[in-house]
Chain A
Amino acid sequence: MIQRSWKIGGLALLGYVLCMIFFVPLGPGLLEFTSTGSAGHVQDQDRKVTVYALTGFGTHWTESPDQLTVVLRHGTQLASLPLIETLDATHVLVGMDLPYTVPSKSWDVLVTHPVDGTLLLENGVFLQDRFIDEQTKWANPEIAEYPAELPFHFPYQPQILETIRNLMLHVPMWFTMFLLMGISFVASIRQLSTAHDLHQDTKAEASVQIGLLFGALGLVTGSLWARYTWGAWWVDDPQLNGALVTVLVYAGYLVLRATIQNIRLRARLSSVYNLFAFVILIILLMVLPRFSESLHPGKGGNPGFNSYDLDSSLRAVFYPAVLGWMMLGTWMYHVRLKASSIERKLRQLQ
């Protein structure tokens, strides 16, 4: 019964996680703010201004378009830009009517809208045709702020965009592998202390087999993510190298087992190697990445996802995902262990 609830609980959690991954929309964000190069008129003004195109992601700018405000920000200085035309829900044209002397050339772009709330594009625009006078100041305009009225959604993150969903697949794979390799580590220690019985050795082997499967899936999901966000299937990075080498080390464990015919010797030698392998796993995945710079999220200290990056909507799916994959992993390990034990008993009977 306990086994069955384990199985059902894990699958239920993963069902919930997969539904969330596929059906929860991504929140709105700003993609880019660029000059169109042409000049245009702003309503009620004679002066010609350069027209800029603002591109959003998943925004709702056609709903109440007159309440959309585009603001430039540098430090505490704000400037509101006049709207020229709302093209569709994610494209809008604005006029760049900043004075010719400005305190900075680089500005953040902020957009407030009743549906989307406040959106930010950091250092979104660089004004090449303006002059810098750091003393320049003008009165800040009044900006209406709206609380966002959006259904449950994942946060928009530049570069990552829709692939944020991979967080629920990629990261738990490695957590599950850690768990299984930990089980294997404990089993190997117990195998060395109880020489007469080979059950612990079977446990260690089964958990490494399933752990390697999760490690391989972690590499595949990571590679897909790297292709999307960094532009390459594989990049030279301490975290990635560590992950690959860990998988190789455990593949070596299975090779070692395959070379030894005597089962008692095999149990002992592979347990010894397994202890080395786990120490190397800790060094490669938890110690070395902290030593070095890495592209991988959490660079500069923490090799995992930084807690600041996880907002409540991601947590609501990420924690169940971790738990679900771990439960699935341990269930797979139990099935594998049962099969191996039966095989071993059959061989003894023959």
Chain B
Amino acid sequence: MRNKHGIAGLAVFAIAAVYTCYQATGMHAERESWNALAWVVLLFTAFNAVSKPWADDASNMRSFLLHTVKPQDWLLARILYYSLMLLGLGALIFAAFLLFLGMDPFTGSGALFFFLGIEATALALASLLAMIQALAARAGGGFSLIAVLGLPLIIPIILVSTRYGMDIMKGIAFGDTAHHLLFLATLTGGFTALGYILFPYLWRD
């Protein structure tokens, strides 16, 4: 129900955004701006990814699905789809960052840990935005409603991620900052569970 052009478009968007950062920071970014830009690009790509409507947001398709699939399974499928897509896009964004903006901020295996942070954030964003997208589509509010509802809700995720990224760049040992990842994982689990319970209320007529 999604098409390949959509995903290719997102990839181009992400790379273009990274390239813009590269031009804007003048080829070499300080670690503060490196960190900020990486999360902003990931965030915008995620919002871009969920802004495209699903074919089943249309009411005839939804009533067909209501009789064939359990709504909970349908939400899990959506979360899985967004998770895979954002994991891929996260990896792409990170690779583009390394390519254009360089590896200077990282020491040792810092880059690997930063990548782990990006992927954990991608999962948390996917689990929350899948629900918000469904909610906004059902309310008929379109993209602006996704932004109004989603942006405040994702703030806890971004707060934790940026702090984690900065810790890694400062060279703090992974073991001392890994609780941020644990927190992200808890958020992912919590949002998925909450969505799993609530999605049927949202989905039925």
Q: A residues near B, CB below 8 A?
A: 192, 238, 241, 245, 248-249, 252, 255-256, 259-260, 265, 268-269, 271-273, 275-277, 279-280, 283-284, 288, 291-292
What are 5 A-B contacts with C-beta separation under 8 Å? A249-B152, A256-B135, A256-B149, A272-B198, A291-B160
Residues of A within 8 A of B202 (CB): 268-269, 272
Instruction: Evaluate contact between A249 and B153: CB separation under 8 angstroms.
Output: yes
Residues of B within 8 A of A260 (CB): 139-140
Instruction: Evaluate contact between A259 and B155: CB separation under 8 angstroms.
Output: no
Residues of B within 8 A of A272 (CB): 135, 198, 201-202
Q: Does B194 contact A (CB under 8 A)?
A: yes
Instruction: Evaluate contact between B190 and A279: CB separation under 8 angstroms.
Output: yes
The minimal Cβ–Cβ distance linking A113 to chain B, given in whole angstroms, is: 48
Residues of A within 8 A of B160 (CB): 288, 291
The minimal Cβ–Cβ distance linking A255 to chain B, given in whole angstroms, is: 5
The minimal Cβ–Cβ distance linking B146 to chain A, given in whole angstroms, is: 11
Instruction: Evaluate contact between A284 and B155: CB separation under 8 angstroms.
Output: yes
Residues of A within 8 A of B190 (CB): 279
B155, B194, B201: the one contacting A279 at CB < 8 Å is B194
The 9 closest A-B pairs by CB, nearest first: A248-B152, A249-B152, A259-B141, A245-B155, A272-B198, A252-B149, A260-B139, A283-B156, A259-B139
In angstroms, Cα B167 to Cα A304, docked, is 26
Instruction: Evaluate contact between B153 and A255: CB separation under 8 angstroms.
Output: no
Chain A residue with Cβ nearest B142 = A259
The minimal Cβ–Cβ distance linking B156 to chain A, given in whole angstroms, is: 5
Instruction: Evaluate contact between A259 and B145: CB separation under 8 angstroms.
Output: yes
**Total number of residue pairs linking A and B with CB closer than 8 Å:** 70
Chain B residue with Cβ nearest A238 = B159
Instruction: Evaluate contact between A275 and B194: CB separation under 8 angstroms.
Output: yes
Q: Does B113 contact A (CB under 8 A)?
A: no
Instruction: Evaluate contact between A245 and B148: CB separation under 8 angstroms.
Output: no
Most buried by B among A248, A252, A260: A252
The minimal Cβ–Cβ distance linking A6 to chain B, given in whole angstroms, is: 33
Instruction: Evaluate contact between B201 and A268: CB separation under 8 angstroms.
Output: yes
Instruction: Evaluate contact between A280 and B194: CB separation under 8 angstroms.
Output: no
A241, A255, A269: the one contacting B138 at CB < 8 Å is A269
Instruction: Evaluate contact between B139 and A256: CB separation under 8 angstroms.
Output: yes
The minimal Cβ–Cβ distance linking B45 to chain A, given in whole angstroms, is: 21
Most buried by A among B139, B140, B148, B179: B139
